[in-house]
Amino acid sequence: MATITEERILEALRRVRDPEQGKDLVSLGMIGGLAIKDGNVGFSVEVAAQRGAAAEPLRKAAEQAVFALEGVTSVTAVLTAHSGGAGAGQPPTGNGPAGSAAAAPKGSGADRIGSIVAVASGKGGVGKSTTAANLALALMAEGARTGLLDADIYGPSMPRMMGVRGKPTTADGKVLDPMNGHGVKLMSMGFLVDEETPMIWRGPMVMSALQQLLQDVDWGPLDVLVVDMPPGTGDAQLTLAQTAKLAGAVIVSTPQDIALLDARKGLNMFRKVDVPVLGIVENMSYFQCPHCGERSDIFSHGGARREAERLGVPFLGEIPLDIAIRETSDGGRPIVAAEPDGPHAAAYREIAMKVLDRLDAGADGPKPAPKIVIR
Ligand code: ADP
C-alpha cells in the first residue's frame, strides 16, 4: 500500500481550486495543521470569517481529494475562519475552535461510540449535570465503557463536578485524548479555555465547537457516550440533537417543572428531530432528611411519573433532594463514585440499567420513537 506523505497530500490539494480566488488551496496558503497518522489525515482549510458556511463545498472538495488517495483511510478537514482574510490572522475568539467543523467520512472519534445519549432539561438548575455525571458513572458500574461529554460550552461544570483538572493532551497534534474522571472518559470546553476567559460564542461557532468535541476527541471504543446538553431547548440544542446522531435522550425534571411544561419542551424538541426519548428522571423528587433519614414530599413528588405515563414516555426513576448528592458532586466526586454501595448509587444504577435496556431494544431493529402526545 502506498505510503501517505505530506507531499502526496499537498499534491492532491493542489488540484482543488478555490472558485472565489481562482487558485488552488495550496498556492493560496489555505491549508494548515496537516497531521498524518497511519492512513488518517487531518488538516484545516483556512477561509475568511465572512465566507462562513459558504466555504463548506470547498472543505468537502478538499476532503474528497485527499480521501481518494490510495492508502488514506480517513480524512478530517476542518474549516477555520480567520478575520483577516484567507490563511492569515487569528480565530475570532482566540480561544476555542473556530469555523465550521467537518463530519469525517470514516475513522473519526465519534465512529467508535456505540450509542450517544443526551441528558437534557427544559430549563437550567434542575440537576441535569448532576444526573449526567452520576448516570455516566452508573453506566460504567454496570459494565458499559462510558464517556461523558460536557456540551454546555457557556457554563461547563463537568471539570469541577468530576473533580478533573488540567489540559487534555494530543498524541498527533490533531485528535485530543479525553480526560479521565473516576474511570469515565471526559471532555469539556472547560478543559480547553481558562475559567476566567469570557466566552463569546456566535451561533455557528457553538456548533463547530461541539462537533469538534465529538469528532476530534479519541473517544473510542465506547459503549455509551453521555452528553450533558446545554440547558434549554433553543437552536443550539436542536442542532446538536440532530448532528450528534443521538441514540436517545433522557429528560431530567423536578416534580414541579413537569407540571410547568418545561420538561415537555424538552420532549417536544427531541420529537422534532426523531430522537427517541428513553425516559424521564424525576430529580429532587422528595426531601431526604440528612439527620433522621425521614422522607418528605415537599414538591408534590410523583408528578414526573404521572406525567410520563400521560405522555407515553417511560419513567426511569426518581432521585431525592439530598444534601449528600449536592456535596459530593460539588466536591468533585459524584455520589455514585463517592458512595458506590449507598442507596443513591443504587437508584442511579437502576436508571442506568433501564437506559441500557432501552438502547438494546432499539438496537434490535428499527423501533418507532415513543409516541408523545402534547396536550
Ligand atoms: P443543571 O445542570 O440542571 O443546571 P446542576 O446539576 O448543576 O443543574 O445542579 C444544580 C445544583 O443542584 C447543584 O449545586 C447540584 O449539586 C444540586 N443538585 C442537583 N441534584 C440534586 C439532588 N438530587 N439533591 C441535592 N442537590 C442536587
pLDDT digits (tens, 9 = 90+) for 91-143: 222 223 323 333 333 345 677 899 999 999 888 888 999 999 999 999 999 99
- In 194-309 the beta strands, taken as DSSP E runs, fall at 222-228, 248-253, 277-288, 295-296
The CA distance from 253 to 267, in Å, is 11
Q: Work out the pLDDT band at 170, boundaries 50, 70, 90.
A: confident
pLDDT of residue 199: 55
Instruction: Among 184-188, 298-302, 312-316, name the most confident range.
Output: 184-188
3-state per-residue secondary structure call for 172-209: CCCCECCEEECCEEEEEHHHCCCCCCCCCCCHHHHHHH
Q: Is 71 in the pocket of ligand 1 (CB under 6 A)?
A: no
pLDDT of residue 238: 78
The CA distance from 271 to 249, in Å, is 10
Q: What is the mean pLDDT of the chain?
A: 80
* Strand 295-296 relative to strand 277-288, pairing: antiparallel
pLDDT of residue 46: 81
The CA distance from 72 to 135, in Å, is 38
Q: Ligand 1 pocket test: pick from 329, 336, 348, 351 the residue with the most ligand atoms within 8 Å of its Cβ.
A: 329
Q: Work out the pLDDT band at 306, boundaries 50, 70, 90.
A: confident
The CA distance from 253 to 62, in Å, is 45
Q: Work out the pLDDT band at 290, boundaries 50, 70, 90.
A: confident
pLDDT of residue 300: 64
Q: Ligand 1 pocket test: pick from 121, 128, 129, 130 the residue with the most ligand atoms within 8 Å of its Cβ.
A: 130
Q: Does the pLDDT value for residue 371 go beyond 70?
A: no
The average pLDDT across 13-29 equals 92
CA of 35 to the centre of ligand 1 (A): 41
The average pLDDT across 42-50 equals 78
pLDDT of residue 204: 61
CA of 322 to the centre of ligand 1 (A): 10
Q: Work out the pLDDT band at 36, boundaries 50, 70, 90.
A: confident
CA of 245 to the centre of ligand 1 (A): 27
The more confident residue out of 96 and 257 is 257
Query: What are the tens digits of pLDDT across the range 319-357?
Result: 988 999 999 999 999 999 999 999 999 999 999 999 999
What's the Rg (C-alpha) of the chain? 22
The average pLDDT across 252-260 equals 72
- Quick one: how many helices (H) and strands (E) in the chain? 12, 14
Q: Does the pLDDT value for residue 239 go beyond 80?
A: no
Q: Is 326 in the pocket of ligand 1 (CB under 6 A)?
A: yes
Q: Is 127 in the pocket of ligand 1 (CB under 6 A)?
A: yes
CA of 286 to the centre of ligand 1 (A): 14
Query: What are the tens digits of pLDDT across the range 69-85?
Result: 988 888 878 777 654 33
The more confident residue out of 224 and 298 is 224
pLDDT of residue 112: 86
Number of other residues whose CB lies within 10 A of the CB of residue 20: 14
Q: Is 188 in the pocket of ligand 1 (CB under 6 A)?
A: no
Share of the chain above pLDDT 70, in %: 81
The average pLDDT across 304-312 equals 81
